[in-house]
Amino acid sequence: MRKALALLAAATLATNAPAATSADETLFFVTIHYASRAQLQEIASRFQHLAVNEKTHTIGVEATQEELDELRLDGFEASIDERATRRMRQSEANLPGRGPGIGPATIPGYSCYRTVEETYATMDQLAQAHPSLAEVVDIGPSWLENAVPGTGHRMRALELGNRAAGSASKPAMVVVASIHAREYTPAELLTRFAEGLVNGYGTDPEATWLLDNFRFHLVMQGNPDGRVKAESGLSWRKNVDDTNGNCSATSYGVDLNRNFPFLWHGAPGGSTGDACAGSYRGPSSLSEAESQALLRYVAGTPDPNGVYRGGALADRREDTTGSVAPADYQGLFLDLHSYSKAVMWPWSYTTGKPPNLAALRTFGRRLAWYNGYTPKQWSRLYLADGTDTDAMYGLLGAPSYTIEMGVAFFESCATFESSTLPKNLQALRFAARNLWAPYRYPSGPTTTRLSVSPTLVAAGTPVTISAALNDKRFSQSNGTEAVQAIRSAAAFLDQAPWADDASGHPMKPSDGRYDETIEPTTLRLATDGLAPGRHVVFVQGTDASGSAGTPQAVYFTVQ
């Protein structure tokens, strides 16, 4: 009886499938129960994307009726989640099919998300309005643009940073979004992150000091031609390379996040050679124009010894899997996806521990405090090979994270605006504050509630710096991180705490003693001899382990 009801529901829901998809390919949201890691990996090898609940041992996937029947024949307990499937149908109803071309101008029903064209237009507008802070860079053609010029897109990056403040050797934060086409949330979130930095420069203290001290390389649309497919209402994941296999009109393409060269095809079940499957890795490593462009832009090109040089992230690593990246590595790589509510670090191809496990895990747990997601090594979700996260850590030694954000591929604007966006903007800002020492700073206390009073003073009038040092901001939802008492805090006037000649002013704990995990602190700072104009004050704390933490900065002006 239960199976008959499920099949009846499937038939009813199928009547509302989008016109672009045949009845045999209609997707349902399915819940599958698994009993072991082996079963989890077997299911992962069949599907494009899993939402795993380790507490209930269930998996949420999008599946066709045929795939659901095969799961049941293989002994899995699997059923259609009717409520989630209805939400998916409502999303599809908001996305009427469109004709061919480079892309639509808007996404009906999803006004909060920019199309590829609108995203590119925003990038251009930021660069035109703020030429000293922003520049748009062409990093290469997409597969379609390479195959038939004028029909696809150029891959583009937005580079941010105050060119007037220091050299081009500043630490870099590289972020790629929406490499899987149907994931609306990442591209829009990264675009708004860029807008917040650029438009906030000069008025937002955090945006100002970040752009003065660091570089940002942002690829909002990591799979632009595939994204156009998704904007038409299809649950499209891959790029649009149709030269492999004899696939249907909705199943061709290569999964770009299984196509990177680091241990490509290196894990059992980590990808598939079936050209029509969602996690198809491509005919060879780095076969796709998009993954080539992304790797070349981020890592550069390999020298005769196989060491990548010349990309946005400076190479600091000569061995691929066994060596520890140096603790003083500068820079960071993030890959933004939706949806599993997870912050994940390498490795994805093996359950073995990465050489920098302790530091990667600590930073991941800090990030997860801000968005409330589960921090974990990627392979705790399932095995995947040829991923950009493994490649950037394995080839470069860069701290590398995949953030699976939100609750749906076509997430409602209400949920995105009220929850996913603000939480993850905070996570990205926190990540950026650690760029000088991402393997070290997250282990120390975080500077919070930083302020200066007054913000405008006459020369010789002291200002009061107030801050809180907090060592508790870890997600403890998956394992625990040691929390330390604060031991000291220092304010650095007109110099960064990482400068070779940095000399900080000791701050006083508000209660007279440094002995708690959260400590409010103050400092009365003299301004005698300061030149007229704007001045910056950095605050950084140290905990009982001796770890200096994540800094923050504030500004005041001397008349």
Q: What is the pLDDT of residues 466-512, one digit of tens each?
A: 999 999 999 999 999 999 999 999 999 999 999 999 999 999 999 99
Instruction: Write down the CATH superfamily of domain 116-433.
Output: Zn peptidases (3.40.630.10)
Q: pLDDT tens digits, residue range 530-557?
A: 999 999 999 999 999 999 999 999 999 9
10 Å CB burial of residue 131 (0-12, 13-18, 19+) is exposed
Q: What is the pLDDT of residue 28?
A: 78
Is the pLDDT at 74 greater than 80, yes or no? no
C-alpha distances (whole Å) from 166 to each of 53, 87, 336, 362, 555 are 46, 50, 29, 30, 18
Is the pLDDT at 48 greater than 70, yes or no? no
10 Å CB burial of residue 496 (0-12, 13-18, 19+) is middle
Q: pLDDT tens digits, residue range 424-433?
A: 999 999 999 9
Q: Tell me what the mean pLDDT of segment 162-190 comes to.
A: 92
Work out the pLDDT band at 15, boundaries 50, 70, 90: very low
Count of all residues that appear for the chain in the document: 559
Using DSSP bridges, classify how beta strands 28-33 and 58-63 pair: parallel, antiparallel or unpaired. Answer: antiparallel
Q: Tell me what the mean pLDDT of segment 340-357 comes to.
A: 96
Is the pLDDT at 70 greater than 70, yes or no? yes
Per-residue tokens: 222? 């990591």
Q: pLDDT tens digits, residue range 136-161?
A: 999 999 999 999 999 999 999 999 99
Peptide bond into 339 cis (omega under 30): yes
Work out the pLDDT band at 22, boundaries 50, 70, 90: very low
Is the pLDDT at 366 greater than 90, yes or no? yes
The H or E element containing residue 164 is none
Nearest alpha carbon to residue 218 among 294, 309, 167: 294
HEC sequence for 416-483: HHHHHHHHHHHHHHHHHHCCCCCCCHHHCCEEEEEEEECCEECCCCCEEEEEEEECCCCCCCCCCCCC
Q: What is the pLDDT of residue 103?
A: 42
Q: What is the pLDDT of residue 66?
A: 72
Strand residue runs (E) in 113-245: 134-141, 154-160, 172-177, 215-219
Q: What is the pLDDT of residue 115?
A: 95
Instruction: Write down the CATH superfamily of domain 444-558.
Output: Immunoglobulins (2.60.40.10)
Fold match flag (116-433 vs 444-558) = no
The domain locations on the chain are 2-93, 116-433, 444-558
Is the pLDDT at 375 greater than 90, yes or no? yes
Helices and strands, counts by H and E, the chain: 14, 23
Q: What is the pLDDT of residue 219?
A: 98
Q: Tell me what the mean pLDDT of segment 102-107 comes to.
A: 54
Structural class in CATH, domain 2-93: alpha beta
Is the pLDDT at 45 greater than 70, yes or no? no
Work out the pLDDT band at 3, boundaries 50, 70, 90: very low
> pLDDT: is 269 or 194 the higher one?
194
Is the pLDDT at 452 greater than 80, yes or no? yes
